[in-house]
Amino acid sequence: MESPPVSFPEAVPGEYSESSKAPIEKPKNTVTNEAEGDEGNAFFLNARPGRRQRRQVGSRVALGFGLMFSGLVAAILSSLLLRQRQARPRVNLYDAWQQLESQEATWLLPTIDQQEVAAHPRLAMGKWLLADAVNFRQAADMQWRGPLGRELMLVLAEHLTKGRSSSVIDATINLVNTQQLGYPEVDPTPRPYTIKRYLYEDNESVTLEIVDKATNLPYAMRLRTVQPRVHGEDVLPETAEELNQRSLVESTSAMLQAVGESDLRDAAEERGLAVASAVATIQGVPTVMRGSTVYLVADVELSEVYSGRLSDIFAAGTATSLEVKEYAGSRMLLQVLQLQHARFSHNNLKLENFLMRPDGSFLLGNFGTGTPIGERLDRVSAVDPKYAEMELGVNAAAAEAEGEEDLAKPVVDEKSDMWSLGVCLYKIFTDGDMPFDLASEEPAASVFAFLKEHRMSGQSLRGRLTDSGVPPRWQDLITGLLEVDRDDRLDAERVSREFQDLLHLRGV
């Protein structure tokens, strides 16, 4: 049943205009946090890098020291040239950001903070219960390192300590060439941090908690990797560095595009997105470090510290209350609709990419595969076929294996993320299960082949959803999203119109 049209809370900023494209503006330099006014933390949150004070050199220099002085000048110039060369990729990074265009759809949508303010009381209870679960896991320190985490931390320890230690915990690192996301300035000043603990990992990165020694403030540092083989060919360190720079441009550009026409500083509150605060480089280590399975690169992303991932809460076999499920489902629904409103597709939506905050809320992160809707996806190997629609997942992977370049870079559709949203919601409401036996040991390609052959529809999932106690309206949404054929699948605009009630705003 279609929900009646409603008026959103007065906090909706302005009127949404027709679809438009405009260059992404440089963010206003007014970002604040708990340490507002702390000069020591201004380097990437609040202030632009200050100008260096010029050194004055005495004019009376003995003739006998002429050659020494000339050598000193040469050394200084050499150092400056080296510093400029090290910062050059960051200048190119800003050049790439300047070419981006933001987009917005025409249909109405509330922001994330409006949903939080106007949410039904049972959603507030769900958020409180979710916060309780998150904080329990934090207190119990239930984050175990995976294979990639162990590998990267060992590689980093070997280079930081020159082989004297195999652990990075409590080690000091200096970060240089710090650049705020969206800004041109690159600050070469070394800044010391202490590595405190492992947080989490995905297939391509590992995130650690670090603490600024000057301010004692914590940050998340995302260690990034490059694969040692591409298309069956070995990747040399020089090529790995080029791939790293390309990846850094793509991931940071995706973050900027995902926020649409919102101010970058409002990405979390308006869109529910976890974007990096800055990028920086670990000093004193090679730009590319060879591990046993991947290259570790010295360029890192900095962000706020999150309290785990949504997948930790909705793991297979873990029962949660309906209030928790509805809060998580409602917030996730609006986050994905916000992405769609910005005409952007994440392309790798899964519970592991929703990052928890201590208050029970969560943000969507990891934009390495993100693209504007209608563009080609050229990082198919990074897409999880268990969560992706058939066209972006198994079909593209098969084409890549066969060397069919055109099919291996599929055009991202406006309904691509809607399938993945359906998978995530199904998993939330069924205590960690996956639809269509996608969690089985069968390859995703075999599962989709069966679904196509037997013309399976999302409606076939209603029995399992009913047995799991999923409310009928959520069943309507989930089954409409999990249509294998794109033509039959719900799109974002229709969802925003027909399922307003699932945003659980008071009066809707």
325 and 285 in a common domain = no
Q: What is the CATH number of the domain that holds 222?
A: 3.30.200.20
Above 50 in pLDDT, residue 58? Answer: no
Quick check: is 99 in a domain? no
DSSP 8-class letter at 411? B
Give domain status of residue 22, yes or no.
no
Structure tokens at 308: 């785990």
Is 65 contained in some domain? no
Contact between 173 and 282 (Cβ < 8 Å): yes
Higher pLDDT, 94 or 454: 94
At 456, the pLDDT band (50, 70, 90 cuts) reads confident
Does residue 320 lie in a domain region?
Answer: yes
Beta bridge partners of 22: 102
Give the CA-trace dihedral at 90, 93, 95, 99, to 10 degrees: -170
445 contacts 494 by C-beta, under 8 angstroms: no
Q: What pLDDT was estimated at residue 293?
A: 95
Looking at the structure, tell me whether residues 346 and 220 fall in a common domain. Answer: no
Q: Which of 244, 277, 303 is the last residue of a domain?
A: 303
**Same domain membership, residue 278 and residue 341:** no
Residues 326 and 472 in one domain: yes
Mean pLDDT over 491-505 rounds to: 92
Query: What ranges make up the beta strands (E) of 185-251?
Result: 191-201, 205-212, 218-226, 229-230, 233-234
- pLDDT value, residue 455: 85
Residue 196, phi then psi, degrees to nearest 5: -95, -45
422 exposed, middle or buried (CB, 10 Å; 0-12, 13-18, 19+)? buried
Verify that 245 and 372 share a domain, yes or no.
Answer: no
Distance between CA 249 and CA 89 in Å, rounded?
A: 10
Domain ends where: 258, 283, 303? 303
- Report the pLDDT averaged over residues 402-418: 78
Distances (CA, A) of 355 to 266, 304, 310: 17, 10, 6
- What pLDDT is recorded for position 142? 62
Per-residue pLDDT for 260 more than 60? yes
Q: How far is the C-alpha of 279 from the C-alpha of 222, rounded, in Å?
A: 9
Question: Using an 8 Å Cβ cutoff, are 361 and 129 in contact?
Answer: no
Q: What mean pLDDT do residues 438-445 have?
A: 80
Mean pLDDT across the stretch 18-27?
A: 38
**In percent, how much of the chain has pLDDT > 90?**
61
In a domain, 33, yes or no: no
- Does residue 341 sit in the same domain as residue 457? yes
CATH number at residue 435: 1.10.510.10
Q: Quick one: tokens of 95?
A: 């050049």
Residues 233 and 265 in one domain: yes
Angstrom distances, CA of residue 405 to CA of 46, 369, 376, 397, 470: 44, 17, 11, 11, 42
User: Quick one: 368 and 450 in the same domain?
Assistant: yes
Residues 288 and 320 occupy one common structural domain = no
- The C-alpha angle with vertex 306 and arms to 305 and 312, in degrees rounded to 5, equals 150
Q: If you average pLDDT over every residue of the chain, what do you get?
A: 82
Whether 487 shows a pLDDT value over 70: the answer reads: yes
* pLDDT score of 195: 98
What would the pLDDT profile of 282-331 be if each residue is shown by its tens digit? Answer: 999 999 999 999 999 999 999 999 998 999 999 877 889 999 999 999 99
Residue 156 has φ and ψ, to the nearest 5°, of: -65, -40
**pTM (two decimals):** 0.81
Asked, for residue 47, whether it belongs to a domain, the answer is no
**Of 190-204, 359-373, 398-412, 413-427, which range is least confident?**
398-412
What whole-number distance in Å separates Cα of residue 267 and Cα of residue 357?
15
Domain count, the chain: 2
> Final residue of a domain: which of 274, 303, 332?
303
Kindly give the pairing relationship between strand 191-201 and strand 172-180. Answer: antiparallel
Entry field: residues in the chain: 508
Three-state secondary structure along 161-201?
CCCCCCCCCCCEEEEEEEEECCCCCCECCCEEEEEEEEEEE
Q: What is the mean pLDDT of residues 409-435?
A: 94
Distances (CA, A) of 134 to 141, 310, 316: 11, 9, 16
Q: Is 402 left (phi over 0), alpha (psi -120 to 50) or beta?
A: alpha
Mark residue 507 as left, alpha or beta (left: phi above 0; alpha: psi -120 to 50; beta: remaining).
left
- How many whole angstroms separate alpha carbon 323 and alpha carbon 35? 34
Which of the residue ranges 53-67, 330-344, 450-464 has the most confident prediction, judged by mean pLDDT? Answer: 330-344
Same-domain check for residues 231 and 268: yes
C-beta of residue 125 within 8 angstroms of C-beta of residue 323? yes
Whether residue 190 lies inside any domain: the answer is yes
In one-letter notation, the amino acid at residue 392 is: L
pLDDT level of residue 3 (50, 70, 90 thresholds): very low
466 in the same domain as 382: yes
- Same domain for 236 and 118: no
Residue 412 lies in a domain: yes
pLDDT band at 12 (very low <50, low <70, confident <90, very high): very low
422/16 Cα distance (integer angstroms): 27
Residue 85 confidence (pLDDT) above 90: no
Distance from C-alpha of 160 to C-alpha of 347, rounded to nearest angstrom = 35
Residue 346 is part of which domain span?
Answer: 108-142+309-503
Q: What is the dihedral of CA 152, 154, 159, 164, to 10 degrees?
A: 170
Question: CB under 8 Å to 501, separation ≥6 — which residues?
Answer: 3, 473, 508
Q: Output 119 or 207, whichever has higher pLDDT.
A: 207
